[in-house]
C-alpha cells in the first residue's frame, strides 16, 4: 500500500496493513493530516484539530506494533478517525454549536469516543455541527458554516455535517456522528459516503450534548460515517452495547453482513414519500434495485402510504418520547435568560448569538401541546406504520427509499423547505436500522444516493446491501475539486 492509497482505503484495510507491518501508523496518520490541512480551509469541517497529538499517538502505536503480537492488537490499531464536536472528548471543545457553551472543554470521553480509542483509533480532531444538533445545515455562531466536499456553494448537511464533509473529502476514513432525524444519513448522502443509523437503543449516546432522556434515547443513535462500506459493521460492533449508564440501551446480537445471501432478500423499492423527489435520484434508486436483482434478490416496487405522514409522526413520537423533559428553548438558554421572540427581532440586525433555525424551533416546539387530540391521532398512525413496516419486511426484507428529495442543497436554501428531513427522520422513531449508500455522481458532480432500511435488530441486512451496492455501483468517489 502506497501513500496515495491511504486516502482511499477503508479503516479495516489500513488496520490490517499496520498490523502486518506493511505500513506504519505514522505514515497513515501523516497522510490524513496532510490531506486535512489541504481540504479543511475550504470545508471548515474540523473545527479543532489535534494533529500533533495524533502523530504522537501514531508513533506510540508503531512501538506497540513492534512489541505485541498482531492478533493482540485492537481492531482499529493506528487508524485515524474524526469525532463530532457534540461528543465529549477530553481536552477538546464540547460546545454543541451553542454560543453560551463556546468555552466548554470536555473533561472526559463520551462512551462512543472511549470505545473508539480503546479500539486503537486515533482522532484527528472534532468536527462541526448545527446549533444543538437540531438542523440539517452545519452552521452555528461558534464555528461558522461547513461546506459540502463536492461544492463549496452547497451544504454539508447536519447535524453531523463536519463528519460528512471531512470523510467525503478523503481526509478521514472513519467519522463518528449521531442521528435523531437523519443527522448521520443526510451528511453522508450530501458528501457521497456511507453512514449507518443503527437499530434504536443499541448504541449509547452517553456523553453527547444535548443529552437524550427517556424514550428519546432509543431515537437518538450514534454511529459511523465512512468512505468504505466494509467499515460499517466493524465500527458498529465497537460502539454498540450497554455502557451501564444509559438506561434505554439494550444488548443486541449483531449479524454478519458477509453471511447474507442476496438471493434470500426481498428488496422493496419505495419511491413515494412525503413529497416529490428529483428524477435523477429516482433513476439512481432504480439502478440500485436493478443491481440487486442482478445478484439474485427479489425486487418489488411498493407504496407505503403511511410514509406520507412522516413529519407528523416523527414530531409527535419525539415529543411523546421526551416525557416532559427539557424543552429545546431551555437548552438554548443554557441556564440564562432566553426570549426567542426578542432574539428573532434581533436576528436581522446581526445582534443575536443564535441561529435562525434554532430560534424558529424554539417557537415551533410549543405547537404539539396545543393540538393534543390531533397528536393522539398521529401517534396511532405511527403505531400503524410500525406494524405495516414490520409486516412488509418480515425477517429478510429491506426498503430502498430516498434519503432526501434532492441532491445537496445550496447554503441557506433548506430554510425554504425545512421539513424535507422527514425522509430520514421517520426511521428514527420506527427504531429501524438505515444505511446511507452513495450511488455515483450526477451530471454536475454532486453525489446521488439511497437509504437501505432493514427490520429492527437486523442491521447486518442493510449493511450487506450497502456492500453489494458499493461493488456494483462504485461507492465513494474522491471529489475532483481536491484532486
- For the stretch 200-227, pLDDT in tens is 999 999 999 999 999 999 999 999 999 9
The answer to whether the CB of 227 falls within 8 A of the CB of 193 is yes
Mean pLDDT score of the chain: 95
Phi first, then psi: what are they for 67, rounded to 5°? -115, -10
The answer to whether the CB of 11 falls within 8 A of the CB of 174 is yes
Residue 3 has a pLDDT of 75
The catalytic position among 10, 25, 84, 269 is 84
Structural domain spans, the chain: 3-262+408-482, 311-376
Residue 252 has a pLDDT of 95
Q: Among 292, 297, 299, which Cα is nearest to 469's?
A: 292
The catalytic position among 130, 159, 205, 208 is 159
Crossing angle of helices 232-239 and 111-118, rounded to 10°: 120
Q: Among 370, 154, 116, 128, which Cα is nearest to 238's?
A: 116
The answer to whether the CB of 468 falls within 8 A of the CB of 230 is no
Indicate if 308 belongs to the active site: no
pLDDT tops 70 at residue 367: no
Residue 409 has a pLDDT of 98
Give per-residue pLDDT as tens, 255-283.
Answer: 999 999 999 999 999 999 999 999 999 99
Residue 319 has a pLDDT of 87
pLDDT tops 70 at residue 194: yes
Residue 373 has a pLDDT of 63
d(Cα 338, Cα 347) in Å, to the nearest integer?
14
Grid cell digits, residue 99: 454560543
Q: Is residue 159 reached through a cis peptide bond, with omega within 30 degrees of 0 on the bond before it?
A: yes
The catalytic position among 183, 188, 352, 434 is 183
pLDDT tops 80 at residue 325: no
Q: Is residue 210 reached through a cis peptide bond, with omega within 30 degrees of 0 on the bond before it?
A: yes
Indicate if 183 belongs to the active site: yes
Least confident of 118-132, 150-164, 183-197, 341-355: 341-355
Question: To the nearest whole percent, how much of the chain has pLDDT over 70?
Answer: 98
Indicate if 84 belongs to the active site: yes
Residue 366 has a pLDDT of 64
CATH class entry, domain 3-262+408-482: alpha beta
d(Cα 87, Cα 127) in Å, to the nearest integer?
10
pLDDT band at 362 (very low <50, low <70, confident <90, very high): confident
| Cβ neighbours of residue 470 closer than 8 Å, sequence gap 6 or more | 194, 228, 229, 437, 438
Give per-residue pLDDT as tens, 54-87.
Answer: 999 999 999 999 999 999 999 999 999 999 999 9
Amino acid at each position: 500500500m502506497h501513500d496515495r492509497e491511504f486516502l482511499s482505503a477503508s479503516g479495516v484495510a489500513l488496520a490490517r496493513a499496520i498490523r502486518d507491518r506493511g505500513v506504519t501508523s505514522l505514515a497513515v496518520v501523516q497522510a490524513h493530516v496532510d490531506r486535512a490541512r489541504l481540504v479543511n480551509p475550504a470545508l471548515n469541517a474540523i473545527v479543532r484539530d489535534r494533529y500533533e497529538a495524533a502523530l504522537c499517538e501514531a508513533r506510540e502505536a508503531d512501538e506497540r506494533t513492534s512489541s505485541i503480537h498482531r492478533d493482540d492488537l485492537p481492531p482499529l490499531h493506528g487508524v485515524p478517525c474524526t469525532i463530532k464536536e457534540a461528543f465529549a472528548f477530553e481536552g477538546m471543545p464540547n460546545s454543541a454549536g451553542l454560543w453560551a457553551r463556546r468555552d466548554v472543554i470536555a473533561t472526559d470521553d463520551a462512551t462512543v469516543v472511549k470505545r473508539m480509542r480503546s479500539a486503537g483509533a486515533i482522532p484527528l480532531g472534532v468536527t462541526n455541527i448545527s446549533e444543538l444538533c437540531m438542523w440539517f445545515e452545519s452552521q452555528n455562531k461558534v464555528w461558522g458554516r461547513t461546506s459540502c466536499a463536492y461544492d463549496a456553494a452547497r451544504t454539508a448537511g447536519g447535524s453531523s455535517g463536519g463528519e460528512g464533509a471531512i470523510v467525503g473529502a478523503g481526509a478521514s476514513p472513519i467519522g463518528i456522528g449521531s442521528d435523531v432525524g437523519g443527522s448521520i444519513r443526510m451528511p453522508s448522502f450530501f458528501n457521497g459516503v456511507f453512514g449507518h443509523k443503527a437499530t434504536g437503543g443499541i448504541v449509547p449516546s452517553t456523553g453527547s450534548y444535548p443529552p437524550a432522556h427517556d424514550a428519546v434515547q432509543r431515537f437518538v443513535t450514534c454511529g459511523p460515517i465512512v468512505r468504505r462500506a466494509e467499515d460499517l459493521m466493524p465500527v458498529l460492533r465497537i460502539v454498540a452495547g450497554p455502557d451501564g449508564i444509559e438506561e434505554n440501551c439494550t444488548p443486541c446480537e449483531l449479524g454478519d453482513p458477509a453471511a447474507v445471501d442476496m438471493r434470500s432478500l426481498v428488496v422493496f423499492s419505495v419511491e413515494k414519500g412525503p413529497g416529490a423527489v428529483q428524477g435523477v435520484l429516482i433513476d439512481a434508486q432504480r439502478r440500485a434495485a436493478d443491481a440487486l436483482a442482478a445478484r439474485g434478490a427479489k425486487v418489488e416496487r411498493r407504496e407505503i402510504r403511511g410514509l406520507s405522514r412522516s413529519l407528523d409522526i416523527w414530531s409527535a413520537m419525539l415529543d411523546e418520547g421526551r416525557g416532559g423533559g427539557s424543552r429545546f428553548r431551555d437548552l438554548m438558554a443554557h441556564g440564562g435568560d432566553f426570549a426567542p421572540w426578542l432574539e428573532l427581532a434581533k436576528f436581522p440586525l446581526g445582534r443575536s448569538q443564535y441561529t435562525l433555525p434554532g430560534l424558529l424551533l424554539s417557537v415551533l416546539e410549543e405547537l404539539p401541546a396545543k393540538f393534543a387530540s390531533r397528536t393522539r391521532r398521529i401517534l396511532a398512525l405511527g403505531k400503524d406504520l410500525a406494524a405495516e413496516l414490520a409486516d412488509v419486511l418480515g425477517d429478510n426484507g429491506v426498503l430502498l427509499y430516498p434519503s432526501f428529495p434532492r441532491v445537496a442543497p445550496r447554503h441557506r436554501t433548506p430554510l425554504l423547505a425545512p421539513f424535507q428531513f422527514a425522509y430520514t427522520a421517520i426511521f428514527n422513531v420506527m427504531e429501524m436500522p438505515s444505511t446511507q449508500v452513495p450511488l455515483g455522481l450526477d451530471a454536475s458532480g454532486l453525489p446521488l444516493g439511497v437509504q437501505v432500511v432493514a427490520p429492527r435488530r437486523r442491521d447486518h441486512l442493510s449493511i450487506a446491501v450497502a456492500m453489494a451496492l458499493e461493488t456494483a455501483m462504485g461507492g465513494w468517489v474522491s471529489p475532483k475539486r481536491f484532486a
